[in-house]
Amino acid sequence: MSGADLDRLAATAIVITLRAGQSIIEEGGIARHFFTLTSGTARLFKSLPDARQQIVSFAGRGDLLGLAYGARYTTGAEAVDEVRLCRFSRQGLHDLADAFPDLKRRLLSITSNELVLAQEQMLLLGRKKACERLASFLVMRAGRTGDADAGTMARPAGGWVVSLPMRRVDIADYLGMTIETVSRNLTLLKARGLIGVNTLHQVAILDLPALECLAAGQ
Amino acid sequence: MSGADLDRLAATAIVITLRAGQSIIEEGGIARHFFTLTSGTARLFKSLPDARQQIVSFAGRGDLLGLAYGARYTTGAEAVDEVRLCRFSRQGLHDLADAFPDLKRRLLSITSNELVLAQEQMLLLGRKKACERLASFLVMRAGRTGDADAGTMARPAGGWVVSLPMRRVDIADYLGMTIETVSRNLTLLKARGLIGVNTLHQVAILDLPALECLAAGQ
DNA sequence: CGGTAACTTGAGCCGCTTCAATCCGCGTGG
DNA sequence: CCACGCGGATTGAAGCGGCTCAAGTTACCG
């Protein structure tokens, strides 16, 4: 996006700050806006009538929300921790996309990328065992090299440190399992010496190669 | 795509016919081409080293293969039954997309659509029970209103007839379960009077509302 | 410190997988 | 035209991984 594009878009922008748990996008609602996340983490999810939930992705700083859909939002979005975002008119983007082909290329690139991630997640949900899922999740989180506030990591003496701003129930809903299974397998990975659990929301990766191996299903 | 675009693209095209089981795209291979499927059905899949497989989608007539990826194919593709397709140069498409912004819009629309379907499938794989998965699959297949040769349906006296060109193992790999569970649940749905199994590759939907209800998780 | 929400741990159970046997459909050749 | 053979599908029995339910523990916040 060039500076001029951004300026025109910025004219319709509203800055919003939300606390943990508050709703950003209502699943099935009419898609009037889209958002850019400037700080914090959000969960994008789909639900079944009896409250079963599947988190489709976590969004961090710089990510766009509410884009890849038609007239209605097909996923909901909620704040995982304190979230700041800019709200834009959806129509504004469409006008802009018509005027600036480069923007379309950018949107295509973002969407393609999300599709590849979604397909990787389908492999995880359909075919991986619980501990492989958790390993995949931790490796993926470690790969977010500080591009999001909540996903920052550093390399202290103890190894890679991964921050997990979400609660266990979010991890469970992302990996298609229960909080108990998440908890048990975290303990398991810790007992095997692959990770260290520093606090509830911070995990140290002690043996990244072994974790990657597990994540790959070997 | 306008006629002129197609003409330029067609200059690089090669028509290919494959038998059931033959490979179209090798997972992880360098992405030199893309394909349009003109008849038959293909499976797109991702694999783990120990041969566990997840089918990410089935492609029918008119679908594009090998598009939404980077330098390498992130999913493999194989023929489910006899498949005819046109092979195009990937570079040709990129040149064309730069010259004709409308094509980009089209690609974005296709990719967005696939993303929405992928997210729906994540909900299925992560949170639905075996019989709900099978019901979802059959309803989805019934929804393909004859846009693909292999997915055609008609409405005879007995109800909607859905054609399933793929084998049970493909259905299992698509729904994240085993062939035995697929088979058992087909028998179950039949016993409940929701479907009738005409042949191995053709199922009659006798109670679509009930099947949709089951698919939605109610 | 107390209170509460979130997390961990334990015990028992259930749905799906695994392993194995049988059945069916279809093509082939006698 | 029918017997045979083979790959794929169904059915059965047993085991197990993850779920459910329940209790205990920890982190966090006023």
Quick: pLDDT tens for A52-87: 999 999 999 999 999 866 899 999 999 999 999 999
Q: What percent of chain B has pLDDT over 70?
A: 88
Neighbouring residues of A122: CB distance < 8 A, sequence distance ≥ 6: B46, B54, B56, B118, B121, B122, B125
Q: Which of B49, B107, B120 sits opposite A108 (nearest CB)?
A: B107
Q: What is the pLDDT of residue A146?
A: 46
Q: What is the pLDDT of residue B133?
A: 98
Distance B163 CA to D2 C1' (A): 31
Mind telling me how many Å the CA of B196 is from chain A's nearest CA?
27
Q: What is the pLDDT of residues A7-45, one digit of tens each?
A: 766 777 899 999 999 999 999 999 999 999 999 999 999
Instruction: Reply yes or no on whether the pLDDT at A119 is more than 50.
Output: yes
Asked if residue B169 keeps its beta carbon closer than 7 A to nucleic acid strand D, the reply is yes
Instruction: Reply yes or no on whether the pLDDT at A154 is more than 70.
Output: no
Burial class (CB within 10 angstroms; exposed 0-12, middle 13-18, buried 19+) of B82: middle
B115 touches chain A (CB under 8 A): yes
Q: How many helices (H) and strands (E) does chain B have?
A: 7, 12
Is B16 within 8 Å of B84 (Cβ atoms)? yes
Q: Which of B53, B104, B125 sits opposite A104 (nearest CB)?
A: B104
Would you call B115 helix, strand, or coil by DSSP? Answer: helix
Asked if B68's CB is within 8 angstroms of A115's CB, the reply is yes
Distance B199 CA to D10 C1' (A): 13
**Which pTM value belongs to this model?**
0.92
Mutation target among B119, B171, B177, B181 for the A interface, most CBs of A within 10 A = B119
Which residue has better confidence, B124 or A101? Answer: B124
Cα A168 from chain centroid (whole Å): 14
Residue A216 banded pLDDT, cuts 50, 70, 90: very high
Q: What is the pLDDT of residue A148?
A: 41
Q: What is the pLDDT of residues B121-142, one digit of tens each?
A: 999 999 999 999 999 999 999 9
